[in-house]
Structure 1
């Protein structure tokens, strides 16, 4: 079972030491001007993505009743993935100095263009950032279809146990359902009884977008082709988003719920960067610089590449392990990890983080 780690005979002294490390790094990054907003970059990118969104729907109208519409469904999914990345950046307040402008930009992109609640996503994502891979704190490793912890897997029986034993191999097929899952969870959040006034406004935006999307789809296509269009779009959207988020933390150490870690190690040791060039940056929305993003959540996306060598060198200097692998290697790690959780669910669980830090 996960256990509390005692790292120093004087825990307060150790905690102060590591807290000071992050403060020094933050000061360096701030002095270099790497936290400055990049409004021109973002406004240009938002304009291009929205133009692509309009172009897809123009294409849908021009193609009409044809199975070639499935190509447009795939294109729409790719465009919505880029919109999701922009909404993510805005929710982290990377675009504008004004919190209000950032919040409304995230709300309109997520709710008005994608049809998903930004407030629901922000609440969930903020919890993830505050305790990545920490049991009973990070919602991304909560009990669900996929079991991320042996205790979760061991409690399953019947079909769920069968699925869990094969969950690594089934991970990518299951991602085809991730898009639908996002919409369902978003709606449940917005239409709960305790929804705030702003969430009710957001619910109206999301409902209008979803209703308009379905109406346009069924006006252009017969029910069978419209259903195929919708299914493919949701499947590709889910795979694109899941394929961007999964490599960043899955297979990295899990943090016991009682473990106390300073900010720098909490973010670096549980995150993984993905090597690649401009295409990787585009396809993953900058999330391939996951370590830098977790250390500086409000840092604009195009700056993450510039700060990476600084962070990597700083971590190496102070003995904090910095994980970076290729994209396909990261997927192999995720599959192996999930299969290992499922197949060894009833074995005693050994905390890799404790082993790593004990020395």
Structure 2
């Protein structure tokens, strides 16, 4: 990235207005409810078929394979909840919220209201120190300043955080459940607290009841561990390529909206299969520029946005999935080296 990129200030805000007119004129902000209905139907049918397989297999160690399949389908529904949180599916907030509560609270045991608030703050200030909640993820350090403050075991972990990153993602599902529980119990101002709490209880009771009624206790424990570990790994591996290893802005940086979103985001190249596997998150630049753009339109918007950035001298970063992971891990490794300074052990 050039100094010119980061030196652009809010007086360039009209560039985004020009891009927005192009996108809107191409119909790329029009909702696609039928496409979403078809996608949700496919995922729910898949989940129902997996349920039939689960019951037919009964008490068997082969259920670990079922746990993996269910993890993938849970993640796909989480992606739909993500889209609902951005109001990509319907124009009505209430209609999107219904989808969000079903996909997040009821199916996945994650507080929709808590997650939407956190995710919106990330979108407003991506990769910005002190403002992006996704830069504060214990026990990781994403900036040299964070790494330099670590002591003892935390410093030891940060020193090796690149190697531990993907294993740590296996705990992401459990982290989301725990954070959701804390939010509905302790957080003030959470909308529809009772409804959220009721859906979380219903999810937990139903999930555990089905697993422990069909499987033996050891099999049930292994099923839950495998299912939640792969769910967290899948989600984390889908979100990690988006910003990790991209420039981190200071809290006081007043770069304009267009450049803030483009310069801190990374796209991942791939075909339609990758689009489906990553829930459209591989078009991270387009998604950050237009959060309410329906997922099916992101692929169509990419050439337009990329050309616009080229014409305006804005760095547009796109790479493969493997390279995106490698860049993120390289960043973690570099930051982790800052925890090796004397006095940090």
What TM bracket, shorter-length normalisation? over 0.9
Is the Cα contact below 8 Å between 1:189 and 1:195 reproduced in 2?
A: no
Question: 2:103 matched to which residue of 1?
Answer: 109
**Of 76-85 and 54-63, the range deviating more from structure 2:** 54-63
The change in CA–CA distance for 1:231 and 1:93 in structure 2 (over 3 A counts) is same
Equivalent positions of 1:243-262 (< 5 A) are: 243-262=237-256
Shift of 1:120: 0.8
Greater CA deviation, 76-85 or 337-346? 337-346
Q: Name the residue aligned to 1:176.
A: 170
Query: Helix, strand or coil for the counterpart of 2:104?
Result: helix
SS in 1 for 2:13: helix
73 and 215 in structure 1: CA distance in 2 versus 1, 3 angstrom threshold: same
- The two structures, once aligned, show a CA RMSD in angstroms of 1.5
| Structure 1 residue 269 displacement after superposition | 0.2
Report Cα offsets for 1:25-66 as digits up to 9, x if no partner. 001111111110001100111111111112212211110010
Residue 216 of structure 1 pairs with residue 210 of structure 2? yes
Match of 1:87 among 77, 81, 91: 81
Match of 1:356 in 2: none
Q: How does 1:113-262 map to 2 (within 5 A)?
A: 113-192=107-186, 194=188, 196=190, 198-262=192-256
- TM-score, normalization by structure 1: 0.91
Give 1:328-339 correspondences, 5 Å limit. Answer: 328-339=322-333
1:304 paired to 2:281? no
What is the number of residues matched between the two proteins?
337
Q: Tell me the distance in 1 between the aligned counterparts of 2:33 and 2:187.
A: 37
Q: Which runs of 5+ in 1 are unaligned?
A: 9-13, 348-359
Aligned: 1:273 with 2:267: yes
1:15 aligned residue (7, 10, 15): 10
Matched-pair contact (CA < 8 Å) for 1:274–1:327: yes
For the 8 Å contact 1:249–1:270, the answer to whether it is kept is yes
Question: What aligned pairs does 1:23-42 form with structure 2 within 5 A after superposition?
Answer: 23-42=17-36
Cα distance, 1:303–1:234 mapped onto 2, change above 3 Å: same
Q: Unaligned regions of 5+ residues in structure 2, if any?
A: none
Query: 2:286 matched to which residue of 1?
Result: 292
Separation of aligned partners in 2, 1:197 and 1:340: 40
Secondary structure in 1 matching 2:131: coil
Kindly indicate whether the alpha-carbon contact (under 8 Å) linking 1:287 and 1:293 is maintained by their aligned counterparts in 2: yes
Q: 1:157 and 1:345, CA in 2 relative to 1: closer, same or farther beyond 3 A? A: closer
Q: TM-score, normalised by structure 2?
A: 0.95
C-alpha distance in structure 1 between counterparts of 2:181 and 2:98, whole Å? 19
Distance 1:313 1:122 in 2: 31
Compare 295-304 and 136-145 and name the one that shifted more. Answer: 136-145
Q: Deviations over 1:241-262 (max 9, x none)?
A: 0000000000000110111121
Distance in 2 between residues matched to 1:28 and 1:39, nearest whole Å: 22
Distance in 2, Cα, partners of 1:346 & 1:175? 24
Whether contact under 8 Å (1:143, 1:152) holds in the other structure is no
Shift of 1:153: 1.1
Q: Is the 8 A contact 1:274 1:325 kept in 2?
A: yes
How far did residue 108 of structure 1 move?
A: 1.3
- Per the alignment, residue 355 of structure 1 pairs with none
Following superposition, the deviation at residue 197 of structure 1 comes to 5.7
Runs of 4 or more off by more than 3 Å in structure 1? Answer: 5-8
Q: Does 2:315 correspond to 1:321?
A: yes
Distance 1:340 1:58, change over 3 A: same
Measure, in 1, the Cα distance between the counterparts of 2:257 and 2:201. Answer: 39
Give secondary structure in 2 for the equivalent of 1:319.
Answer: coil
Following TM superposition, by how much is the alpha carbon of 1:194 offset from its aligned partner in structure 2, in angstroms? 2.6
